[in-house]
């Protein structure tokens, strides 16, 4: 998944690497469908993750929201990279 791997490189280097919105949304939807949202399945069933810049929402429970870029990183397990751009009461369950 090039979108995520490019962020794996850019973020530690302190660089910005834009992600096109629609492919990012499609990638997050697919990753979620394949079961890559969180390593703990209990968390997956008890959080709502919503994008603030695209039509994307998954799960139910306390809300975590942010830009689609951060949502994709979260869905793919890059929690530490995603959290700075996310907000909501569900964040406490990630730490």
pLDDT in tens, 63-76: 999 999 999 999 88
User: What average pLDDT does the structure give for the chain?
Assistant: 87
* Domain CATH number, residue 60: 3.30.1050
Number of structural domains in the chain: 1
pLDDT over 90 at 14, yes or no: yes
Higher pLDDT, residue 31 or 65: 65
Query: pLDDT tens digits for 32-67?
Result: 888 755 555 445 668 999 999 999 999 899 999 999
Q: Residue 86: what pLDDT?
A: 95
- Domain hosting residue 8, numbered range: 2-93
Of 57, 47, 50, 58, give the one whose Cα is nearest residue 94. Answer: 47
């Amino acid at each position: 998944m090039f979108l995520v791997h490019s962020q794996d490189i850019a973020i530690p280097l302190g660089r910005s690497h834009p992600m096109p919105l629609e492919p990012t949304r499609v990638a997050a939807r697919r990753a979620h469908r394949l079961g890559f949202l969180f390593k703990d399945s209990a968390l997956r069933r008890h959080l709502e993750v919503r994008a603030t810049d695209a039509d994307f929402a998954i799960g139910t429970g306390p809300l975590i929201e942010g830009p689609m870029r951060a949502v994709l990183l979260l869905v793919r397990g890059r929690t530490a990279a995603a959290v700075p751009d996310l907000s909501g009461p569900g964040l406490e369950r990630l730490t």
